[in-house]
């Protein structure tokens, strides 16, 4: 795990695709797994690209579609076939944040695509709070590892700093 960009915990793996925490088993079974199955049937780059872009699709399936599309783009380049209009950089940008601390606590999408794609399925509040707490704890532990210390008032102080404090979470 990259300490500057912590990843979403994986609760299980389905067909080689990691299933994110902070959602119900019912959602996993009724929405996420069928979406992953659907991506397995996709081969056309434009179909994969449209799937990646849609916040209506579960993040895990979007990431899987992005991986398939990236492989297709790279394979075409390696074989010197005509390039697609979408690049690997486009794909990475479209899936950025889906499995990191940039995951939206109020919907199953990234904070990067939340306002552009309001069709994302809402994340129930209890899972959103758990998601926020998980990443807050990681950030707190990272600051402690970097030398920040509690000030006794629920805040953390930078090493050597006596004036500035940040919330300890």
Which residues of the chain carry a pLDDT beneath 70? 1-5, 114-117, 162-169
pLDDT at residue 149, as a whole number:
85
pLDDT at residue 1, as a whole number:
45
**Domain range list for the chain:** 1-123, 125-169
pLDDT at residue 157, as a whole number:
82
Where are the alpha helices (H) located in the chain, listed in sequence order? Answer: 25-27, 33-40, 45-53, 59-78, 88-95, 125-145
pLDDT at residue 77, as a whole number:
93
Q: With the C-alpha atoms ordered 70, 18, 99, 34, is the resulting torsion angle positive or negative?
A: positive
pLDDT tens sequence across 55-103: 999 999 999 999 999 999 999 999 999 988 999 999 999 999 999 989 9
């Amino acid at each position: 795990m990259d300490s500057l960009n912590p990843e979403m915990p994986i609760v299980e793996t389905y067909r080689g695709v990691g299933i994110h925490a902070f959602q119900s088993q019912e959602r996993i079974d009724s929405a996420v797994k069928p979406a992953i199955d659907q991506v397995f049937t996709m081969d056309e780059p434009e179909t994969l690209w449209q799937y990646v872009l849609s916040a209506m699709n579960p993040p895990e399936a979007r990431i899987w579609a992005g991986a398939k599309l990236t492989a297709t783009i790279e394979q075409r380049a390696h074989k010197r076939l005509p390039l697609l209009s979408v690049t690997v950089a486009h794909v990475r940008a479209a899936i950025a944040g889906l499995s990191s601390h940039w995951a939206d606590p109020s919907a199953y999408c990234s904070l990067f695509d939340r306002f552009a794609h309001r069709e994302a399925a809402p994340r129930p509040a209890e899972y959103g709070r758990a998601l926020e707490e998980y990443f807050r704890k990681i950030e707190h532990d990272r600051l402690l590892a970097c030398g920040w210390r509690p000030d006794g008032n629920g805040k953390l102080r930078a090493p050597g700093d006596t004036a500035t404090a940040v919330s300890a979470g």
